[in-house]
Amino acid sequence: MSFPLANRLSAETSPYLLQHANNPVHWQPWDEQTLTLARRENRPILLSIGYSACHWCHVMAHESFEDEGVAAVMNRFFVNIKVDREERPDLDQIYQTAHQMLARRSGGWPLTMFLSPDGTPFFGGTYFPKEPRYGLPGFADLCQRVAEAFENRRDDITAQAAELRQALADTTPEPAATATAFDAGPLAEAEAQLARGFDSRHGGFGGAPKFPHPTDLAFLLARKESGSRQMALTTLKYMCEGGIYDQIGGGFCRYSVDERWEIPHFEKMLYDNGPLLALCADAWAQSRDPLFARVAGETAVWVMREMQAPDGGYYSSLDADSEGEEGKYYVWDRAEVERLLTPQESALALRRWGFDDPPNFENRHWHAKIAGPLDDAEIPLLAAAREKLFAARETRIRPGRDDKVLTSWNALMIEGMAHATRVFGKNEWLVSAQDAMDCIRNTMWQDGRLLATARDGRAHLDAYLDDHAFLLAALLELMQAKFRSEDLAFAIELADALLARFEDRDAGGFFFTADDHEVLIHRPKTGHDNATPAGNGVAAFALQRLGHLLGETRYLVAAERTLQLFWPHMSRSPGGFGSLLRALEEALTPPVAIILRGPAVEMANWLCALGADPRRLVLALPNGIAGLPAALAKPESDHVNAWVCQGVTCSTPTEKLDDLNH
């Protein structure tokens, strides 16, 4: 057999794949060469999906993939493929769903799937230990048993494969026979469902582990019912005071392992921090609680300090581990705190951050949370203590950083930075967001096509629905912070690409992959939010808004057809449809759009006064901008004029700012 005897990952861009480039496992990337090899050799595929900040991915790598004996078994029986789930969310989505169908339980990372040569899975799991424990078999033994099953039970595997492919196809929503008139029922039911699951003691929903679910929080924060808004504010308050938020360096971790938001899984993901930054800005705008302003500011500073590349793009994540231990970079010994600070600073820091309580991390270390009150007079003293602890922490060995630039995650952070700019007026945040957008446009937009990932100047992989939809939404937010003609032109190109390459013209909605994407065992089209919003929901929302701004019916029709497709599912059970519900709400009541024309300096004052109400769009178009679409090409003036539009109706212009805030 002409089977390769080399690991091929050294040429990849993914830091996660590069971490495995020196494994004795003959890892292959997911590409046509590898898949052709599996089919030609009639060998099963061992597919391992993970990401660089994943703790249990590291554990399985150290235990099994770096072990010569385990690698020999893997190399003997399988074509071994390693995939970064952040670069290939299409593959991750398909095989996570397949795992759930085969194992009848949810998946996770690392995802370990055994595939027939045609890519159809027949067995799988997540983490497997090297030796039997946790009720799991040892990995090398498991590999041998799976290989034997593939050799001796091929007919059963073939029959199961046909059933699995049909089950995957059945997950694609079918359109209703007739169009339905939308109503607000799913919005009210979603509110009620979230209220039933709300943890009034600690905030959040359900028990441990607790995830931020920013899409649900944004939905609640925008409700008219004060109780719903309070659920969101309470949750954000406990998160901002807990250990899921890095009290020393800023930024949110991925989730809390307990119900109190106290001890996180320490990895920091870009996709969490963008939406949470925007939420903290809106929470401050509603409550004027200084906690939210502080956390928003510290998070924005963390992003610019640690997550922004010199060319403007935002990096993907920070690892949970350093020196082989989870959380080691972030936790403290009380004696170290007392040594670094003055007695007065130390006494305040110990009380404020809970270091005078028993250890809360592995019974021997402390992780900072807000545990005690703080008087206004103590704020400068605590700031000095925080600065000293931060400086000391900077001398430690840092967690690994995944420095690839992902289009979709950059879009979420750009949107968060732009929205926070509109609330707080911080120009440096706007510059950061514009630099990131320019990086994406210059690096990822090539010959009229969007790419998904880049590292060290090399961009590749066709972009997905989320990349296009999130970027369109980010551009709409960025244009409201400061209008640039190139952003509008880019938004129109992206909207047209969504309709041309992703829309299901027969049934409505958008596929996750483009029409010329490689053929996989399934082409997903989903509406549920996960850790990130659903691409269908964000696409419908953004196309709807752009359609109203430009008077472009193609965009409005595509958004309506998306809502029609998912309407039966939202009507029956709206939980998890937060981003589609946001689009539904604006389909029922189109957003107010305010178009400003006039001198740039005077217009800046109007923008500041109008703030950032999520229920309306504000575009400030200074005199001198040429080539505007007809719907935006309002007459220039020596004074600011404002047109208020909703749907297809616009008011007569006004020169009075007070008219807009009534």
pLDDT for 583: 97
- Identify the three-state secondary structure at position 268: strand
- Identify the three-state secondary structure at position 112: strand
Pseudo-torsion of CA 310, 312, 318, 323, nearest 10°? -10
Q: What is the 8-class DSSP label of residue 366?
A: B
pLDDT for 662: 60
Q: With contact defined as beta carbons under 8 Å apart, do 103 and 125 qualify?
A: yes
Q: Which residue has the tokens 């959380």?
A: 327
Output helix, strand, coil percentages for the chain, rounded to the nearest 5.
Answer: 50, 15, 35
pLDDT for 614: 86
Terminal Cα distance for the chain, rounded? 77
Residue 110 has pLDDT above 60, yes or no: yes
CA distance 480 to 470: 16
Mean pLDDT (the chain, rounded): 95
Percent of the chain, pLDDT > 90?
Answer: 93
Residue 5 has pLDDT above 90, yes or no: no
222: left (phi over 0), alpha (psi -120 to 50) or beta: alpha
pLDDT for 3: 55
Q: With contact defined as beta carbons under 8 Å apart, do 259 and 204 qualify?
A: yes
- List pLDDT tens digits, range 31-65: 999 999 999 999 999 999 999 999 899 999 999 99
| All residues at 6 or more sequence positions from 514 whose CB lies less than 8 Å from its CB, including other chains | 462, 463, 464, 501, 502
- The secondary structure element, H or E, covering residue 291 is helix 290-306
CA distance 518 to 119: 13
SS (H, E, C) 74-102: HHHHCEEEEEECCCCHHHHHHHHHHHHHH
DSSP assignment string, 28-79 = B-SSHHHHHHHHHHT--EEEEEE-TT-HHHHHHIIIIIT-HHHHHHHHHH-E
- List pLDDT tens digits, range 291-320: 999 999 999 999 999 999 999 999 999 999
Q: With contact defined as beta carbons under 8 Å apart, do 92 and 47 qualify?
A: no
Letter string b/e over residues 86-101, b meaning 16 or more CB atoms within 10 A of that residue's CB: bbbbbbbbbbbbbbee
Question: What interhelical angle do 290-306 and 427-444 show, nearest 10?
Answer: 40
DSSP assignment string, 571-626 = HH--TT-HHHHHHHHHHHSPPEEEEEEE-HHHHHHHHHHH---TTEEEEEEETT--
- Identify the three-state secondary structure at position 319: coil
Q: With contact defined as beta carbons under 8 Å apart, do 179 and 568 qualify?
A: no
pLDDT for 11: 93
Residue 373 has pLDDT above 70, yes or no: yes
647: left (phi over 0), alpha (psi -120 to 50) or beta: left
Instruction: For 427, list phi and psi in degrees, rounded to 5.
Output: -65, -35
| All residues at 6 or more sequence positions from 377 whose CB lies less than 8 Å from its CB, including other chains | none
Mean pLDDT calculated for residue range 195-212:
96
- List pLDDT tens digits, range 477-504: 999 999 999 999 999 999 999 999 999 9
Residue 102 has pLDDT above 50, yes or no: yes
Percent of the chain, pLDDT > 70?
Answer: 99
Look at 576-580, 584-588, 658-662 and tell me which has the smallest mean pLDDT.
658-662
Question: Domains in the chain, ordered, with CATH?
Answer: 9-170 (3.40.30.10), 185-320+402-588 (1.50.10.10), 330-395 (no CATH), 592-661 (no CATH)
Q: With contact defined as beta carbons under 8 Å apart, do 539 and 509 qualify?
A: no
Residue 1 has pLDDT above 50, yes or no: no
Q: How far, in whole angstroms, is CA 406 from its chain's centroid?
A: 10
